[in-house]
Amino acid sequence: MTRKYKIAKIIDEYQVVVNAGSNDLIHDDDCLEVYQPGQEVTDPDTGESLGTLDFVKAKLRVVNVFPKMCVCENRETEQKSFFSNISQGLFFEETLPMNVQTTDISGGYEGIDKKIKVGDLVRKVN
């Protein structure tokens, strides 16, 4: 059985400590994610469980590894642009809604605490 990792300490808004390290085969630049387990989703045809709709609170990058813990930073970055010419515009991407059957909307992320806290679950991702 795979050991579940957790947030062990919050250093500041930029760095957290996870209770997994080199003893757990964690390396510099590994990708981890902080998540909250979600609702189970079932296949509409077979009734088979497809897993849970987990909410990912943050995607992390390992920056310092110790035997039993590692220090991680946020993998998500923000690009800032400075324009010297007023005629240039600021471009960004916007997610557009899909044309879905609204009566089939069932939600899935209600009641999720989006704040990262000590004890939150962490998993290694490829």
Give pLDDT tens digits for 23-45: 999 999 999 999 999 989 999 99
The confidence score (pLDDT) of residue 110 equals: 80
Burial class (CB in 10 A: 0-12, 13-18, 19+), 19: middle
Please give the model's pTM, rounded to 2 decimal places: 0.77
Q: Look at domain 5-79+120-125 and name its CATH class.
A: mainly beta
Helix (H, G, I), strand (E, B) or coil at 49: strand
> Which H or E run includes 59?
strand 55-65
Nearest alpha-carbon partner for 54 in 41, 36, 66: 36
How do the domains of the chain map onto residue ranges?
Answer: 5-79+120-125
Give pLDDT tens digits for 54-112: 999 999 999 999 999 999 999 886 655 555 555 555 666 677 777 888 888 888 888 88
Helix (H, G, I), strand (E, B) or coil at 52: strand
